[in-house]
Structure 1
Amino acid sequence: MTDQTVVADGRRARRERNRAAVIDAMFELMGDGHLPPSVDEVASRAQVSVSSVFRYFDNLDDLLQQTVARYFERFAPLFEVPAVPDGDVDDRIAALVAARLDLWEAIGPIARMARIRAADQPKLAAVLAETRRDLAAQVRTHFAPDLDGLARADVDDRVALIDCLSAFESWDLLTGTHGRSRQLVDRAWTSGVRALLAPT
């Protein structure tokens, strides 16, 4: 290995470390409620210069998209709902409600920002749309034993309503505008999902 190769490898490693530090800084600032963080705040938290931020990323939108990707990577386990194949409907309801509350409490700031910026960022809008489809499909799979035997239209209606009820927008409205605690949201969602799954 030549000296030039060693120097190039060192520069590449330093660049990747600094890029990661900038993404982590954006991640942390958004978690602290800075929506959106300024480039000066990001640079200061990452301990790099403002000009370095723009060397590592095309623009702030590029940084935001990569920060969202980091969120998905870090919180991937929270997007899952524990399977309850042998439980009754109340067990499945409890599992879904707890999983959604854990998820939204963990990613609330980035989820809020993603929805704000998706209107003018097609790539971010596409990620958000795919995530919403996945969460809806998850509801359908999770409650398959309780929806079995219903007409397709009835299944579709109930899946859509349960998905809306437990969505980020519902959680944000209940905890923000209505000041509901986790316990109260849990109670409301549990009651609502149970009603939607009740036989007609």
Structure 2
Amino acid sequence: MANVSHKMASRSQAPLADGRRERSRSSRGKIVAAMLDLVSKGDVSPSAARVAEVAGVGLRSVFRHFDDMDELYREMGEVIEAQVMPIILQAPAGADWKERLFDIADKRSKVFETILPYRISASLKRFQSPYLMQDYRRMLRLEFETLEAHLPATVKVDLAGTRGLHVILSFQTWRLLRHDQELPVEEAKAVVRRLLGNALAAMPDN
């Protein structure tokens, strides 16, 4: 009889545990969504209290799910990276390396525009956060390596020219045009393509 009672109690507790886990996942999702929403709307350094307010949860709930704001930034970064990584990893189109660089430029404009507010937000924090600094350098390496993979050896020997290509196709250039100079997307893309075309004109075709 005792075994039967124990089994019945276990069954009754299982739905409660499942419900708690589901509420926990829901609260965590709301917190991350609130962080993403605030940053996308221009609050580049939202406080935990503001995140809790927008998420509709208590401030304690934020730190129950996330040890600190650094962990929340990490999860925000993972969400954004999942959105843009398929574009980053897509092979560029083009009959030769110069055409492929123009395709990379167009793809990066989409990626950079998507990550713009979040990258600016993380940039404000990365000098105080080893994780954000490490993630920043990881993304720089990825940008560098994906571009280097499409440069012929005759171009790579021109270190100044190669570095110039990296600058033209960098997030920093996109941020300067979109954020600092406040250019519309299409005008920013036109500037990048003009700079890229001018740089490629002085380089060998293969």
The normalised TM-score by structure 2 is 0.83
**CA distance, structure 2, for counterparts of residue 159 and residue 8 of structure 1:** 57
Match of 1:162 in 2: 165
TM-score by length of 1: 0.86
Specify the SS of the correspondent of 1:109: helix
2: CA distance, partners of 1:199 / 1:34:
42
Amino acid at match of 2:135: V
Query: Residue type matched to 2:106 in 1?
Result: A
2:108 corresponds, among 100, 104, 115, to: 100
Matched ranges for 1:26-37 at <5 A: 26-37=35-46
1:42 maps to which of 51, 68, 78: 51
Moved over 4 A (4+): none
Q: CA deviation at 1:115?
A: 1.3
Say if 2:92 and 2:104, in contact at 8 Å, map to a contact too. no
Q: Which has the larger radius of gyration?
A: 2
1:136/1:160 contact within 8 Å kept: no
Partner AA of 1:102 in structure 2: K
Cα separation, partners in 2 of 1:151 and 1:50, compared to 1, 3 Å:
closer
Aligned residues: 194
Describe the shift of the 1:55–1:159 C-alpha distance in structure 2 as closer, same or farther (beyond 3 A): same
Shift of 1:153: 3.2
State the match for 2:72 in structure 1: 63
| Structure 1 segment 37-186 matched on structure 2, within 5 A | 37-84=46-93, 86-89=94-97, 91-141=99-149, 143-144=150-151, 147-148=152-153, 150=154, 152-154=156-158, 156-186=159-189
- Contact 1:80-1:99 at 8 Å conserved across structures: no
Question: Partner of 1:188 in structure 2?
Answer: 191
> Cα RMSD (Å) of the superposition?
2.1
Q: Relative to 1, partners in 2 of residues 1:88 and 1:20: Cα closer, same or farther, differing over 3 Å?
A: same
Cα deviations across residues 17-39 of structure 1 (Å, max 9, x unaligned)? Answer: 21111111101111111111222
Which residue of 18, 22, 27 maps to 1:18?
A: 27
Aligned partner letter, 2:171: F
The answer (yes or no) to whether the contact 1:93–1:190 under 8 Å persists in 2 is no
Q: Does 1:199 align with 2:173?
A: no
Q: CA deviation at 1:11?
A: 1.0
Larger CA deviation: 166-175 vs 130-139: 166-175
The one-letter code of the counterpart of 1:184 is: E
Aligned identity (percent) is: 23
Change (3 A) 1:81 1:186: farther
Q: Which runs of 5+ in 2 are unaligned?
A: 1-9
